[in-house]
A and B are shown apart, each in its own frame.
Chain A
Amino acid sequence: MSTPTGTTRPTRWAADDQGWFGDTAGQWGGRFMPEALIAALDELDTAWQGALADPAFGREFELLLQNYAGVPSMLYEAHRLSELAGARILLKREDLNHTGAHKIRNVLGQALLTKRMGKKRVIAETGAGQHGVASATAAAYLGLDCTVYMGEVDTERQALNVARMQLLGAEVVPVTSGSRTLKDAINEALRDWVSSVDHTAYLFGTAAGPHPFPSLVLSFVRSIGDEARRQCLELTGALPDVVAACVGGGSNAIGLFAGFLDDDDVAIYGYEPGGDGVETGRHAATIHAGEVGVLHGARTYVLQDDDGQTVESHSISAGLDYPGVGPQHAHLAASGRATYVPVTDKAAMEAMALLSRTEGIIPAIESAHAIAGVVDLARERPGQTILVNLSGRGDKDMGTALEYFGLGRATPVADPQSATAEQQ
């Protein structure tokens, strides 16, 4: 692609004003969208730039995060896990935020923008349901109408979150086209938006999609990394050796990474959903195993076949089950600034149990991918400080855990004497 001229960028990791990441314009990101939506994306871009430049907006957002969402989240030293892994593991407790994940930061920012633009309705896509719940929450808080598109497959594996959204007053629409998961929910939300754009804002759930979404979402979640950097300095007196997060679309990861991109000595690791194993083809490890392409408005790594048709992804974690990835991650991977490693379903589920038993913290299966990754990484980096984004809590995943581990049935000892006898 040729290079448009006259573009500006604050740092080498940020996008230019056409949404291109990378050393050459045209490399990653951009805006591959129907003309019908361009005016809305421009309107959003203008409103967002105005908000960024408006100290009153910044204050309102910060206060809302503090007083409503419970932000800043704490940085927690996981002593028993650290001992077991052989490295100093710090957890950024985004699971303690209101609604149980980092997603609330992005959604409150976008909902405030919606209000600023004078729109009365929001739509959102959701995979695991966390972004949908966060959107429904923000809509309830600000008095906006809310419709959430969710793949039919995901409504089944995350029924509890469907109920949450409904209780919060949102309409949840099951999407039955294509693979009936997150990517199809995005397609359907875009179809809604093209017909409703004059009064509706699209609350995009991750740092992907057409410009300005990757940069806009980053601007609302980058406080994760800024807080973590400050907290780590306070706690340990130094920067971490490694920061790590799970990566589906990549918003929790980019939020954390952004705080450390210019710290060249801090290694950055993203953990992708390896599903049944990358070699089986049943996975969602987009950076590790995808090819360069365009999906949902951005040039990035895409799981696709030889003809550019999107391939269905697979992950036990609905929130990571996406065949694309945010373009800034593609840039960080291609430039070598960050390393992306697949983690299988099995390893993630084992890490879910491990963190539960060592720390008394039940992580979301998404976040458990990162826990599995860093426990593994600790072997190569004994004694180092590894800061992990614990992006969400596991309550929503209890159905999956119940089935996976065969839990849920209490096991009374029928004959205490025989149990004693066995021990002898």
Chain B
Amino acid sequence: MSTSRAFARARAEDRAVLLGYLPAGFPDVDGGIEAMRAMVEAGCDAIEVGLPYSDPVMDGPTIQAAAQQALELGFRTSDVLRTVEAVAATGVPTVVMTYWNPVERYGVERFATDLANAGGAGLITPDLTPDYAPEWIAAADERDLDKIFLVAPSSTEERLALTTAASRGFVYATAVMGVTGARAASSDLAGPLVARTRASLAEGRDLPVGVGVGVSTGDQAAEVASYADAVIVGSAFVRTLLDHAGDRAAGLRALSALTAELAEGVRRAPARA
């Protein structure tokens, strides 16, 4: 199920998509599934399942800590597929976000097949750009999987065009120059990046732009939702679970409350551009 379904539904309601991220295997595999289901129930339109990796160069301390915990508990690549299957069963589009080496090691074709069979929508690839991705692009196209590549404030017009042309489902705008992590202030780079990304689309092409910018509150979500097609939230969810490490029930309640606040935020946004 492509993520485009979530975008179509949100557009019908004239609002942005809320896309929530958690790494698989955190706090453990079943606990992660339970947490992601709670996020769906409380208002996430789509879920991004992270694949914990030993060398996450784009992640800040919060997501690093969660990934390390998952790996220490013996996380395996097959666990991400089990997680996708369980979350996709709720009916929301579910994508995997992964650094490239685990996919390459699993086998690109084999991973694509197993991801599709698990009901996964596609892959977000933070360290794989389209110009180095012919094998993944072929495997994804064969199975109608979303190829979600990233754009950044430093991307040139030429690279924006290259990236949006190769993307399917949506394109992921990392709207701060820096690693993942919740941020108090909003980025003044985000709005212009979204506009430039849209301008790079081939004529007549409609590709949603999701924005990851360290959102952690409903107000921030509302602001980002005023110019983006999806508000992507990761570190704030992970932080919530880390803060309630000793009490899972309380962690889930806090997670649901945060989701509800963010979901309200994406619905509160003023008339969208």
The interface of chain A, by Cβ under 8 A from chain B, is: 1-2, 4, 18, 26, 30-40, 177-178, 183-184, 187, 190-191, 194-195, 197-198, 291, 293-297, 299, 302, 304, 306-310
Contacts and interface: CB of A to CB of B under 8 A. Distances in A.
B104 A294 contact: yes
Contacts of B134: 1-2, 26
Given A198-B177, A295-B101, A304-B101, 6 more contacts: A32-B128, A34-B150, A38-B159, A195-B179, A296-B57, A309-B102
6 contacts: A34-B152, A36-B155, A183-B55, A294-B100, A299-B104, A307-B76
B149 interface: yes
Interface of B: 53-58, 60, 64, 68, 71, 76-77, 100-106, 126-129, 131-132, 134-135, 138, 149-156, 159, 163, 174, 177-179
A295 B100 CA distance: 9
Given A32-B128, A35-B152, A36-B177, A304 B163 contact: no
B105 A35 contact: no
Contact of A35 (B57, B103, B135, B159): B159
A198 B152 CA distance: 13
A309 B57 contact: no
A307 B155 contact: no
Contacts of B104: 293-294, 299, 308
A309 B71 contact: yes
Contacts of B60: 191
Contacts of A191: 57-58, 60, 179
B151 A195 contact: no
B155 A38 contact: yes
B54 A310 contact: yes
A31 B155 contact: no
A310 B68 CA distance: 12
Contact of B57 (A187, A198, A293, A307): A187
B177 A195 contact: yes
Contacts of B150: 34-36
B54 A178 contact: yes
Contacts of B103: 308
Nearest to A39: B154
B129 A39 contact: no
B58 A34 contact: yes
A78 to B, nearest CB: 40
Given A178-B54, A194-B178, A302-B101, A307 B106 contact: yes
Contact of A308 (B105, B131, B177): B105
A398 B178 CA distance: 39
A294 B100 CA distance: 7
Contacts of A36: 58, 150, 152-155, 174, 177
Looking at A32, A34, A304, the one whose CB has the most chain B CB atoms below 10 A away is A34
B177 A197 contact: yes
Contacts of A177: 64, 68
B156 to A, nearest CB: 6
Contacts of A2: 134-135, 138
A4 B131 CA distance: 9
Contact of B100 (A4, A32, A306): A32
Closest 4 CB pairs of A and B: A308-B105, A36-B152, A195-B178, A308-B102
A127 to B, nearest CB: 15
B81 to A, nearest CB: 12
Contacts of B102: 307-309
Contacts of B101: 293-295, 302, 304, 308, 310
B229 to A, nearest CB: 18
Contacts of A31: 129, 132
A39 B162 CA distance: 13
Contacts of A195: 177-179
A194 B106 CA distance: 28
Contacts of A30: 132
B148 to A, nearest CB: 12
